[in-house]
């Protein structure tokens, strides 16, 4: 078991990067060993050695010394000089695609929050149009990547050199569906409908016309119907065909949070007790899952927590179920899941620093 370790974060300026920094700075195993924060630094800030973290995210300034930390100019030499062993990439997909090969070659273990290495099938990766698609190097790295959903791949994460952190929508839907599909209860040919709604932070920090306040406020909109890049994650991780699931994402006019409403049909009538038992058995070793037996989850219950909340209700005849899965897209949908993966990789308690 590793007692402590030097981490580094690239991409701390974004929403998920800020939450990742907060969690790592407060992690009980990392006290006294704050992350190295590296990234792009403007010329005007080079003279002072970087940008103080408290200027980027004033909420992170505190008595733990974080007020003295800086975002420093990224270089591989910086990481090597500081003894970095685990690198978090909260960077765009294309950037992670470029940097991961170099990081692995330098002996770093990587937790990548982008979609660069999540998908094993070329047909599903096509949505990203990666420039190196089909290359020998990309294929070799993809073969090493472990999909970082602890509830499914805990054992593989423990020994991984590259963990591909799941997408936020994908996390919500996979956690709600996988137990039922794995138990053989779901009539896949009848079709699954996953209707998911996310707060605006899921679109990232860079503003667009669609995320402008005047567009998003007092509005609810569907987007990327049949083409969302998280669809491939659902197919690969749940084990369904494209014809067996419809996933429709929506933008909610709230800052953060995801609620996925999932509609399934069963082969045979089920009881609430049977379905509940399936979920509890599947998640028996998963500390970051909260199961709701009597009420359905809501965004306000999971907001700013590191948990995924899952509940369901059956139709009167027991042939259909509505599953509701909620999480904070910046936490269990991104940063706290990355920390959960760190804990598993290093042999620490899975929930350390998260409960």
Distances, alpha carbon 311 to alpha carbons 172, 197, 240, 267, 308, in Å: 12, 16, 21, 20, 10
Instruction: Round to whole Å and give the CA distance between 111 and 164.
Output: 6
Nearest Cα to Cα of residue 241 among 279, 192, 183: 192
- DSSP SS3 for 112: strand
Q: Active site residue: 145, 157, 168, 185, which one?
A: 168
CB distance 19 to 329 below 8 Å = no
User: Containing H/E element for 310?
Assistant: strand 308-314
Integer-rounded Cα Rg, in Å, for the chain is: 20
The closest alpha carbon to 3, from 33, 23, 42, 36, belongs to 33
d(CA 324, CA 241): 22
Reply yes or no on whether 326 is catalytic: no
- Is residue 146 within 8 Å of 157, Cβ to Cβ? yes
Measure the CA–CA gap between 283 and 207, rounded to whole angstroms.
Answer: 37
How many Å apart are CA 280 and CA 5, to the nearest integer? 33
DSSP state of 103: H
Catalytic site positions: 168
């Amino acid at each position: 078991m590793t007692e402590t370790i030097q981490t580094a974060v690239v991409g701390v300026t974004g929403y998920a990067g800020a939450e990742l920094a907060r969690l790592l700075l407060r992690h009980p195993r990392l006290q006294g060993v704050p992350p190295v924060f590296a990234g792009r630094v403007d010329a005007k800030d080079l003279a002072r050695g970087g940008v103080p973290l408290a200027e980027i995210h004033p909420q992170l300034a505190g008595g733990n010394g974080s007020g003295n930390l800086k975002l420093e100019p990224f270089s591989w030499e910086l990481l090597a000089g500081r003894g970095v062993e685990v690198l978090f990439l909260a960077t765009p997909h294309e950037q992670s695609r470029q940097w991961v090969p170099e990081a692995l070659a330098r002996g770093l273990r990587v937790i990548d929050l982008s979609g660069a290495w999540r998908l094993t099938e070329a047909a599903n990766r096509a949505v990203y149009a990666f420039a190196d698609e089909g290359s020998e190097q990309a294929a070799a790295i993809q073969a090493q990547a472990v999909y970082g959903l602890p509830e499914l791949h805990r054992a593989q994460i423990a020994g991984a050199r590259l963990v591909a952190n799941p997408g936020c929508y994908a996390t919500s839907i996979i956690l709600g569906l996988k137990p039922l599909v794995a138990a053989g209860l779901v009539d896949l040919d009848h079709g699954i409908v996953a209707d998911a709604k996310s707060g605006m932070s899921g679109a990232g920090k860079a503003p667009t016309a669609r995320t402008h306040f005047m567009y998003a406020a007092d509005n609810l909109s569907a987007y990327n119907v049949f083409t969302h890049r998280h669809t491939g994650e659902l197919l690969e991780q749940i084990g369904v065909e494209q014809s067996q699931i419809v996933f429709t994402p929506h933008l909610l006019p709230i800052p953060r949070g995801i609620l996925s409403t999932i509609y399934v049909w069963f082969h045979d009538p089920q009881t609430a007790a049977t379905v509940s038992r399936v979920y509890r058995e599947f998640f028996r070793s998963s500390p970051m899952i909260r199961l709701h037996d009597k009420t359905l989850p809501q965004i306000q219950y999971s907001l700013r927590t590191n948990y995924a909340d899952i509940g369901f209700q059956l139709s009167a005849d027991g042939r259909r179920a509505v599953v509701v899965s909620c999480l904070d897209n910046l936490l269990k949908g991104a940063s706290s899941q990355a920390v959960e993966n760190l804990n598993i990789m290093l042999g620490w308690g899975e929930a350390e620093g998260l409960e």
